[in-house]
Amino acid sequence: MTRLFGTDGVRGKANKTLTAPLALSLGAAAAHVLTGGKGTAKRRPTAVIGRDPRVSGEMLAAALAAGMASKGVDVLRVGVIPTPGVAFLTDDYGADMGVVISASHNPMPDNGIKFFSAGGRKLPDEVEDQIEAAMNTLPPTGPTGHGIGRVIEEAHDAEERYLAHLQRAVPQSLKGIKVVVDCANGAAYDVAPRAYEQAGAEVIAIHNEPNAYNINEGCGSTHIEQVKAAVVEHGADIGLAHDGDADRCLAVDANGNEVDGDQIMAILALGMKANGELRKNTLVATVMSNLGLKLAMEEAGITLRTTTVGDRYVLADMNAGGYSLGGEQSGHIIISDHGTTGDGVLTGLMLMNRMAETGKPIAELAKAMTVLPQILINVPVRDKSIIMSSESVKEAMTKAEAELGATGRVLLRPSGTEELFRVMVEAADKDTAHKVAGRLAAVVAEV
């Protein structure tokens, strides 16, 4: 049986695979697992629900709220707010659980449901499995009378609480910094411009008019060319691009050049080390991070730990080791002193704070690492499970690694959702990366 939960909650096409009845059942099961036994005669358990602006979020929020209330949980709906905002508010309100309805950077027809436990923390796999199991075993009835949960339609101070939290994280005034922010017509359409303005920056906001249908449509972090053009047009110092739920952030320098998640981590790691905030002198990234990040951290005397792909695995490693900074090349950056999950708006503030602190433009700060050419080829295969045991693949990898030496890297890994094998090669120059990747991809395709 296919597992309902994926790498980042429950995802699907809204009203097709991700339906209102499914959300109702999911809400009831999550309430049972995450708040079971916590209620008393004087206090019912509480859940926080937030969402991005896509049209199906209204339907799914109503269904989730009904499911949770049917199990005796009071529901506080906080409206349209970034995913990290829901995580923060779950802790700030002292709630027993939180739910965000968003498909992140996916197009509008899709949606997703992601849960947080008390304290605003992502759920481990085993708890998600318990929720999935409860969907099939819970009785359809629940408490009656005073035991039924209440639904508060809008928590009017939610955004202000989140904004105040963001401002507490920024020690420097951002006065004198001109920033273009692409809000992706998503959850950060109001919060991001306000947060940057409150910190002192001059803000030009684009794609900040969601209409329930245009989220991520030709804009945001998956279409960074929009913010590149706007930065050059307006003569801004920096551009920031968020995705639909604003848990990620990519940047652009004054010339319109991209500053990706690896470069952002390098900038923040050096700044946090200088300020004594980089716990255990360690940065956590994934295996997909550019080799240039590893080389830059080695030069700076910083340990780089790597995990499998996915911000949840970065976060798990950070929590286990007590580290303060981690993230992904895609722009999911986790700063554990200020949040329990990746926060794109916080990342934007921290980047501009570093600019203000050093007096250096983002382009100069980004020189902290050299991005090595990285080639990724998706190879259709008959059986993903046999690729890495193939003698021809092993031989080709050994040859490629010897050819690249210390200035290159080879990574082969299966797709999590398709019959594809991903061949990634980094090298000191693009021609070499292309040549080696193409040769490896040909061997994989023959298996």
CATH number at residue 335: 3.40.120.10
Q: Write down the pLDDT at residue 150.
A: 95
Residue 295 lies in a domain: yes
Q: How far apart are the first and last CA of the chain?
A: 27
Q: How many beta carbons lie within 10 A of that of residue 416, not counting itself?
A: 13
Same domain flag for 27 and 139: yes
Q: Write down the pLDDT at residue 1.
A: 59
Answer with the one of 314, 346, 366 that is the final residue of a domain: 366
Answer with the one of 336, 366, 396 that is the final residue of a domain: 366
Q: Write down the pLDDT at residue 312.
A: 87
Q: Write down the pLDDT at residue 417.
A: 63
Active-site residue flag, 102? no
Residue 249 lies in a domain: yes
Please tell me what DSSP assigns to residue 382: S
The total number of structural domains that make up the chain: 3
Spatial separation of the C-alpha atoms in residues 120 and 103, rounded to whole Å = 18
Same domain flag for 194 and 119: no
Q: How many beta carbons lie within 10 A of that of residue 300, not counting itself?
A: 18
Residue 5 lies in a domain: no
Write the pLDDT tens digit of every residue in 65-109: 999 999 999 999 999 999 999 999 999 999 999 999 999 999 999
Asked whether residue 104 is marked as a ligand-binding residue, the answer is yes
Same domain flag for 279 and 413: no
Asked whether residue 8 is marked as a ligand-binding residue, the answer is no
Please tell me what DSSP assigns to residue 149: P
Same domain flag for 64 and 209: no
Q: Write down the pLDDT at residue 2.
A: 74
Residues 6+ apart with CB under 8 A from 127: 33, 34, 117
Per-residue three-class SS string for 396-428:
HHHHHHHHHHHHCEEEEEECCCCCEEEEEEECC
Same domain flag for 151 and 173: no
Helix axes 191-198, 344-358, angle to 10 degrees: 20
Answer with the one of 366, 391, 408 that is the final residue of a domain: 366
What φ, ψ does residue 143 adopt, rounded to 5°? -65, 160
Q: Residue 395 sits in a domain of what CATH number?
A: 3.30.310.50
Q: Write down the pLDDT at residue 140.
A: 86
Residue 62 lies in a domain: yes
| Full residue range of the structural domain in which residue 213 is found | 169-366
Q: Which string of DSSP letters, residue by residue, matches 24-35?
A: HHHHHHHHHHHH
Residue in this structure with the two tokens 């550019």, named with its chain if needed: 290
Same domain flag for 192 and 341: yes
User: What are the E-state strand segments in 10-139?
Assistant: 10-13, 46-51, 74-80, 97-101, 110-117, 121-122
Same domain flag for 132 and 269: no
Spatial separation of the C-alpha atoms in residues 48 and 158, rounded to whole Å = 10
Asked whether residue 96 is marked as a ligand-binding residue, the answer is no
Spatial separation of the C-alpha atoms in residues 23 and 373, rounded to whole Å = 43
Same domain flag for 255 and 404: no
Residue 2 lies in a domain: no
Same domain flag for 392 and 262: no
Residue 112 lies in a domain: yes
Please answer whether residues 256 and 232 qualify as being in contact, where contact means their C-beta atoms are separated by less than 8 angstroms.
yes
Same domain flag for 67 and 23: yes
Residue 163 lies in a domain: no
Same domain flag for 233 and 353: yes
Asked whether residue 243 is marked as a ligand-binding residue, the answer is yes
Residue 197 lies in a domain: yes
Per-residue confidence of the chain (447 residues) as pLDDT tens digits? 578 998 789 999 999 999 999 999 999 999 999 998 666 657 899 999 999 999 999 999 999 999 999 999 999 999 999 999 999 999 999 999 999 999 999 999 999 999 999 999 999 999 999 999 999 999 988 899 989 999 998 888 999 999 999 999 999 999 999 999 999 999 999 999 999 999 999 999 999 999 999 999 999 999 999 999 999 999 999 999 999 999 999 999 999 999 999 999 999 999 999 999 999 999 999 998 999 999 999 999 999 999 998 888 999 999 999 999 999 999 999 999 999 999 999 999 999 999 999 999 999 999 999 999 989 999 999 898 899 999 999 999 999 999 998 888 999 988 866 788 999 999 989 999 999 999 999 999 999
Same domain flag for 23 and 62: yes
Catalytic residue among 104, 117, 221, 289: 104
Q: Which tokens sit at 372?
A: 């090595």
Q: Write down the pLDDT at residue 154.
A: 82
Residues 6+ apart with CB under 8 A from 36: none
